[in-house]
Structure 1
Amino acid sequence: MVQEQRLSELLVEFAHTLATDYSTQGILDHLTTRILEVVPVTGAGVMLMGRDTDMHFASASDDVLLQIESLQIELGEGPCLEAYRTGQRVLVPDLNVDERFRRFSPRAVEKGLAAVFSFPMRADGGRIGAADLYLDEPGTLSEADATAGQILADVAAAYILNARGRDASQETERELRYRALHDPLTDLPNRTLLHDRITHAVDRSRRSHGVPAVLFIDLDRFKEVNDSLGHRAGDQLLVAVARRLHDTLRPGDTLARVGGDEFVVLCDELNDAGQAVTMAQRVTGELAQPFLIGGEEVAITASVGIAIARVGHETPDTLIQDADIAMYRAKQRGGGSHETIDETIRVQAAHRLRGEDALRRAVESGEMRLVYQPIFSVPDGGIRGVEALVRWEHPDRGLLAPGEFVPLAEETGLIVPIGLWVLNAACVALKRWGSKIPRPIIAVNVSAVQLTRSDFPAAVRSVLRQHDTDPAEICLEVTETVLMDDDGRVVRALEELKEIGVTLAIDDFGTGYCCLTYLRRFPVDQVKIDRSFVEGLGSDSQDTAIVSAVTNLAHDLGLTVVAEGVETEQQLRMVGEVGCDLVQGYHLSFPLEAAGIDALMASMPGEG
């Protein structure tokens, strides 16, 4: 009766572990201690097993028995292992005469043991280990004691499984929490964790009077590295950058990754703003050293913006935004440098942001317009095509020329949707004039931002198919400076466009001081001589010589030559004398709306 009561009390104690944080080891230790109060034995031990009888946990009521538990694993035999393997209890009332465990039994006797009784720990149709009960004199267990031993072994197994499930759940929760606060590529804190640390840093600064600062780091021309070496190399570079930045910072600083190639450093408890500048200089200097990526040396630079916490502007969003604004100014200055936010930069950034928002709305609401400047044949004066020129019909400022919004569009990436809109509108215009011009062609300007996008050729192909436009009737114009700054991506894009069948032209030729033989590198069809050279025709011998040389070489290469910016009769006569094929300029026609082109065609002999 007493035994049943003690067993019941022990089972209740085990039940309480369900509502506690008892570890697996804690449950085992509790079992080996309390089981001695229920079953008349002198010692107890327990082992949890894994695959191939690997011992994961062991516990015993004293150190000698703990050695005995481990001894069975060492020897590969013993009653505990046998109970685990067979799922049946194993009773050895006298180790001195036992012949089943010839290696184990003598060693156990040497340690002062005389009898051992092992019970499998069963749960969910399997076994997770076994419990051993020991006597220091030969003897047997009553059936009631053996039953109690098996009950305790099975109950302990159930609670251990519960503890394992709880531990696994907690580990999963910790892992999910960690992932929610860290960047998966670099393992750095992400924006969420950065916000939290900035908030705490600002709170501390109010008490300690230390100065928190935020450094916003953006890698210069990272996209070019990513595109030329591949995304895998790009990821390796980001990891290497993160490691180098981490080694550069002070122990208490926080380094976070907040975007593709954007990192933010929180410098806590600075003495003054000058320390933040010193840190930014250290960052730019370290990142300017080459990286070894996939056996190839890669050189990059970084632009760093600095924001110092100040009264009224201490929120994480404000500090990060200010540092981002300052970084953008550093990047505008050519990159590889740092800039500290000030009120002038804030005002300029706010103005730029308003301009970007207005331009985005303009694209979405259809405020873009096209005008067309005719392109004439020099030999016969007939219209051979038009150049499509985009304008922004601003609701307050009227019609804006490209120079007033295209630079912003290129900086923000809005040039991509604007460029696609222009190409679509050009294809529609071709339908309008295709029957009125023999072999018509419409020229569209293309920016470096568009050309360096890997999906640009496919986008052009899609538009042409959508409008059933002959590719040869579309001329894509690329400025000479874009070609000279090419890292290989522009040439690849031009080659893909050439395969589509569009006409390609170098615009503003001569402004980039391009070597004439450089033309052979690019799969172009036309050269458009810049107006700055055309302006001097007939009056400046050097300009005349340059235009003549460019024309002759282009013809030798099988290229068509277009003279831009013809504004006088003398210039028109001279472009004919040097052999230019096509011409455009205010002397012949200003850019016109579609209706104006209709009227011009109708007024010209042989046109319309």
Structure 2
Amino acid sequence: MEKISKERVDNTMKFDETQAGFSDLEKEYMSLFEHSPYLLLVINAAGECVRVNEAGLHMNEWTRKEIINQKIEHLTDIYDEKAWDEVMSGNVSHSEKAGSVDYTHSYVYTWIPTIIEHKAAGAVVLGMKKSAAECSEQQDEVYRLANEDPLTNLPNRRCFMNYLENKLLHAASSKEKLAVLFIDLDRFKYVNDTLGHLFGDRVLKHIAERLQAHLPEKSMIARLGGDEFVVVMTDVKEKEEPVSLTEDLLTIIREPLIMDGFEFTLTGSVGIALSPENGIDAEALLTSADAAMYRAKAKGSDRLEVYNRDVYQEFSRYFHVENDLRKAIDRGEFALYYQPQFCLESGDVCGEEVLVRWKHPIEGTISPGEFISIAEETGLIIPIGEWILREACRQKAKWINEGYPKVPMSVNLSLKQFLQHNIVHTIEKILKETKLPPEYLDLEITESVTVDLDRTLDILNQLIKVGVRISLDDFGTGYSSLQYVGQLPVHELKIDQSFVKKIGKGKEGEAIISMIIHLGRSLELKVIAEGVETKEQLDFLQKQGCDLVQGYYYAKPLSTEEYEQYLRYKDLC
């Protein structure tokens, strides 16, 4: 091997001065060398240091003058002459030794003759790795990144699945049972869509903290992604244990959130699966819990379901319905039904609510309760809702032209529809196309629109200018009703049928109804009660001063032809 002269070493020390003449490869090497956070030394064939990077000087409190020309055996206590000769001869390209330069480090010798051979033929780079403590910290960080959700700091899906598999193996050997709770936040996408993803992330962190704080010992919670969380309960003795925990968690999720001046309420849908009966491996058990969660969501959300065979069939049906739902509009399978609304003072028909039915070619009529939630989850509610609105306005304009009662028609507007950026334009366009005077269209919204109050007020004020009426549907069922009702430019409050059903069965429902009617009067709003089915309910509402009612006591929802006949009969009477 060629000996390295003192002159060539001095030239190598002037590496920076001649860098401009280097090739692109050499420049790239120099950049990596200088900016590395670890100690790097260039050692020539004589075992002398001819270059050191800034990190090396800083870490060892060296000056460049102190280190240049020093022999390698003076710089480290791990000098191995045999190993060094092997590296310098080119027989090996990599070698590791444990040792120190003033403190414990691990070194890597790398043979790179082609990069620097014209400046120091046969030179090598001596690269210092992290200390043992630093390596341990790095390993911990790598493990954390691989197993922890970065947003909530909860275990992620990978960590959860490994944990669940281990617990299932232990449960099988010890004959124990465990439960998986699959939690999905209802309509969380609306939070992201209205208040932004950064706000939504803060909400998720807050919910995660709530859930984690209320878990019992021997339980573990993870975030699978999005708004999905999963809990593992071990050593389950009775099926009631996970059910009881789930009920507590639903209550915790339901507690009002106050962030940046916004107060709103979230709900959750939870599916429960037990091992071994619902799955003996992690993937099967998680799938069962997921299926049960979908069943809970399909039944109206804010509830729990325990997996059984029926759940699997409904899970399969969910996707079957979703697939057929995508084709239903093009096939003309939807039909509108109308339920008349009555003025309690005069007894006259004073409006009608538009309802939709799905006439499936094979399964017959499918009720909204079965497909509306799926439509909302999948986003299909947007085209379906627009079709309902256009067809209802077309039919109402036709009835007015034919001499039927000139009363307003109520059409439900889903939250997802309401939050469309072009919703006002869409409604204006439909009214223009169908030639329906806007005063005959009553749009029913729910209090969930208050998730972004400023945006809601802007949209409602634009709709009022268009000339349509606004009703607040399902009033009293959420936490934000009383807080915001005075700020919303609405014409009518609609008492939810869940309160009407309690009339005569206790003071709770009756007290809430009385309060809503009194509130309506104070705000100069009309009040309508839905779901009226008995004379007792009607008498109570009339006594309290309710303005309007609808329900089976008067008439069920009617097809277009049936409703026309009904109106003609009422006119004759």
Q: 2:229 aligns with which of 258, 263, 266?
A: 263
Aligned position for 1:55 = 56
Aligned position for 2:98 = none
Contact 1:304-1:327 at 8 Å conserved across structures? yes
Q: 2:327 aligns with which of 346, 350, 364?
A: 364
> Rg larger in 1 or in 2?
1
Ranges in structure 2 where 5+ consecutive residues have no aligned partner? 5-35, 71-115, 130-139, 504-509
Identity %: 33
d(CA) in 1 for partners of 2:118 and 2:293?
Answer: 69
Q: How far did residue 314 of structure 1 move?
A: 2.3
Contact 2:339-2:352 at 8 Å conserved across structures? yes
d(CA) in 1 for partners of 2:571 and 2:264?
Answer: 60
Aligned position for 2:401 = 435
1:201-237 Cα deviation digits (max 9, x unpaired) = 5456656767665343445786787789764343234
Contact 2:461-2:489 at 8 Å conserved across structures? yes
Contact 1:214-1:323 at 8 Å conserved across structures? yes
d(CA) in 2 for partners of 1:184 and 1:383?
Answer: 58
For this pair of structures, how many residues does the alignment match?
459
Q: 1:45 aligns with which of 43, 46, 49?
A: 49
d(CA) in 1 for partners of 2:533 and 2:301?
Answer: 39
Alignment-mate amino acid for residue 364 of structure 1: K
Secondary structure at 2:444's aligned position in 1? strand
Alignment-mate amino acid for residue 55 of structure 1: G
The 1:246/1:276 distance shift into structure 2, 3 A limit, reads farther
Give matches, 1:346-495, under 5 Å.
346-348=309-311, 350-351=313-314, 354=317, 357-358=320-321, 361-362=324-325, 364-366=327-329, 367-372=333-338, 386-396=352-362, 398-399=364-365, 402=368, 418-433=384-399, 435-437=401-403, 443-446=409-412, 450-451=414-415, 455-456=419-420, 458-459=422-423, 461-466=425-430, 468=432, 470-477=437-444, 482=446, 493=456
1:248-278 Cα deviation digits (max 9, x unpaired) = 88999865321323222456xx555569948
d(CA) in 2 for partners of 1:466 and 1:290?
Answer: 37
Give matches, 1:225-264, under 5 Å.
231-239=197-205, 242=208, 255-264=221-230
Ranges in structure 1 where 5+ consecutive residues have no aligned partner? 5-23, 59-66, 81-90, 93-148, 164-173, 537-542
d(CA) in 2 for partners of 1:285 and 1:590?
Answer: 34
d(CA) in 1 for partners of 2:267 and 2:425?
Answer: 36
d(CA) in 2 for partners of 1:272 and 1:229?
Answer: 40
Contact 1:457-1:496 at 8 Å conserved across structures? no
Aligned position for 1:113 = none
Q: How far did residue 192 of structure 1 move?
A: 4.8
- Give the TM-score normalised by structure 2: 0.54
The 1:246/1:508 distance shift into structure 2, 3 A limit, reads closer
The 1:318/1:563 distance shift into structure 2, 3 A limit, reads closer
Q: How far did residue 238 of structure 1 move?
A: 2.8
d(CA) in 1 for partners of 2:531 and 2:181?
Answer: 47
Alignment-mate amino acid for residue 426 of structure 2: S
Aligned position for 1:320 = 286
Aligned position for 1:214 = 180
1:524 paired to 2:481: no
Q: How far did residue 581 of structure 1 move?
A: 9.4
Alignment-mate amino acid for residue 321 of structure 1: T
1:21-73 Cα deviation digits (max 9, x unpaired) = xxx999968x75xx5xx54xxx6235432xxx453699xxxxxxxx8xx5425
Contact 1:47-1:55 at 8 Å conserved across structures? no
Contact 1:439-1:473 at 8 Å conserved across structures? no
The 1:402/1:274 distance shift into structure 2, 3 A limit, reads closer
How big is the alpha-carbon RMSD for the aligned residues of Structure 1 and Structure 2? 6.8
Aligned position for 2:63 = 72
Q: How far did residue 369 of structure 1 move?
A: 0.6
Contact 1:452-1:489 at 8 Å conserved across structures? no
d(CA) in 2 for partners of 1:336 and 1:597?
Answer: 35
